[in-house]
Structure 1
Amino acid sequence: MKTHYTIIDGYNVIGQSEELKEVAKESLEEARKTLLLWLVNYNARQQTKLMCVFDAYNTNGVESKEYFHGIHVIYSKRDETADAVIERLVYDLYDKHITRITVVTSDLSEQHTIFGSGALRISSREFLLELQEEKVLLERELLDINEDKPRIRISIDEETKERLEALRRGYK
């Protein structure tokens, strides 16, 4: 079975989501965190090796990585775009025999580059629809689980409790 990687251009997805764009107007950090929470829920059902890449273009920092509830989050280094990081990841990870890589981006030039490297692509808009569908399915599964749960407590009178306890202990 192939290892499935999903690599997401974080700011590209934020830019395609009306909800996340509104959040980003107030706080880009909050928009990133909201997207990452959506991805955590998505990955609960998909079980891929999920990576989300954000531009840190023109900052003074080096490339940084963090692990957010099962998701690898990468911030590009100074003067490097998220596209360059994604291309490097695809190049490093791809092996047609053991990996399947899907890249989420709506950047046309990036799409052509990753196709040439053997990765699949999904547009940010398509991915947002998939996120929404997965959210609905996850909520439905959670409802089903709650409905199927056995009752923890059964309301019975004291006399019946005593009789059941006597039976449990082997008394008549």
Structure 2
Amino acid sequence: MRNVFVDGYNVINSWPELKKIKNYNLDSARQALIESLQNYAAFKGYKVFVVFDAHLVPGSIEKKERISENVMVVFTKEGATADSFIEKAVNNVGRKIEVCVVTSDSLEQQLAFQRGAIRMSSLEFYHEVKDAEQRIRVNTRKKYSEKRHALEDRIEREVLEKLEEIRRSR
């Protein structure tokens, strides 16, 4: 299973629709990102860690919240950045399991790569998530249409023929 570490604010500032939401309400932008990543993680079978900086919030402590089986949200403690949290996590698991780091910070990408992780920019990740969302929609439509049952599939042939006669006689 691939573990994906996402620099939350970096992604919010890179994705067009999240940037618009952030201008009105940062909390709503965070929530929209988390919802997108829940669908992405479930569809891909990945474990996603979304990390938000709280290094400028006085007195904040590190907070981890499991949103779903595949998504964990982390708020760093005061004085710690998302980059430092991700570096530490990747350093612990980077060569043991497949890890991807999502950030557009080039220094962070370089450090992640040195620790054995795959790196992806926030915009590349945007396109990957949008592609997954499109594939989810297609799969859902396909499954829904397969489950549709036509009337002719559920009634006896004689009844169907009588109904057809009535329809044509009008």
TM interval, shorter chain, is 0.7 to 0.9
Q: Aligned-pair distance for 1:69?
A: 2.4
**1:16 counterpart SS class:** coil
Name the structure 1 match of 2:109: 111
Per the alignment, in what secondary structure is the counterpart of residue 73 of structure 1? strand
* Residue in structure 2 matching 1:149, options 143, 147, 150: 147
Corresponding position of 2:79: 79
Match of 1:137 in 2: 135
Identity %: 34
Q: Residue by residue, what CA displacement relative to the aligned partner does 1:105-145 show, whole Å, maximum 9, x if unpaired?
A: 00011011111111110100000011111111100000000
Residue in 2 that maps onto 1:69: 68
Structure 1 counterpart SS, 2:2: strand
**Pairing partner for 2:124 from 123, 126, 130:** 126
C-alpha distance in 2 between matches for 1:146 and 1:100: 34
5+ residue gaps, structure 1, are 161-172
| Partner of residue 18, structure 1 | 16
Runs of 4 or more, structure 1, over 2 Å off, are 150-157
TM-score, normalization by structure 2? 0.85
List gaps (5 residues or longer) in structure 2: 160-170
* AA aligned opposite 2:53: D
Q: TM-score, normalised on structure 1?
A: 0.84
Task: Number of aligned residue pairs: give it.
Answer: 155
- SS of structure 2 residue aligned to 1:56: coil
Q: Residue 168 of structure 2 aligns with which residue? A: none
Q: Is the 8 A contact 2:95 2:117 kept in 1?
A: no
Matches for 1:37-56 after TM superposition, within 5 Å:
37-56=35-54
> CA offset at residue 45 of structure 1?
1.4
Q: CA deviation at 1:92?
A: 1.5
Question: How well do the aligned residues superpose, as a CA RMSD in angstroms?
Answer: 1.9
